[in-house]
Amino acid sequence: MRVDCQASVIRLSLGGSQPAADPTFDISNNIARRATEVGLVNEPQNLASTKKTTQVHRQASKQINFRVSEPDYLKLARSAQTLNLSVPAFVKKKAQGARLVTPKIAAQDAQNITHQLAKIGGNLNQLAHHANQGGQIDPQALKDLQNEVHRVWQQLT
């Protein structure tokens, strides 16, 4: 027995037991829907690919691929790492003629400064909340916070 699903009609071939004049019988849409619901019939598929085709909307719709030698790649990777960029981002900026300047702060130092600034911001928020509730602010706490900001500022210059 063979079942084919095309559009809204299912054709059922019964092999040797069907009448000789008509090898297939039409089943109504209702039965076809039910057969699909219970898993007897699968929707037709593109057997070449089971991947769903989705259209990607990107700002840059064109892609350029090229090959470089191992020494050239290492040189590009070192330059990109110095600028805290990925290799593709570095090559794209260079191809666009961007003037790339080495950052004054190393990536690890920038991360440490960001962490320190987050702590200072938390402390400042706590003091502001306490002051807004009508509480007294300890002058030493404000002095400590000011010293922390000054210390971070010194790291940046």
pLDDT in tens, 102-144: 877 777 888 888 888 888 888 888 888 988 898 888 888 888 8
> Which SS3 state, helix, strand or coil, does residue 11 take?
strand
Count CB atoms within 10 A of the CB of residue 3.
14
> Which SS3 state, helix, strand or coil, does residue 93 take?
helix
Residue 103: partners with Cβ closer than 8 Å, 6 or more residues away = 83, 84, 110
Put simply, whether the predicted model's pTM sits higher than 0.75 gets the answer: no
Cα–Cα distance for residue pair 41/74, rounded to 1 Å:
55
| Nearest CA-CA partner of 11 in 110, 28, 93, 19 | 28
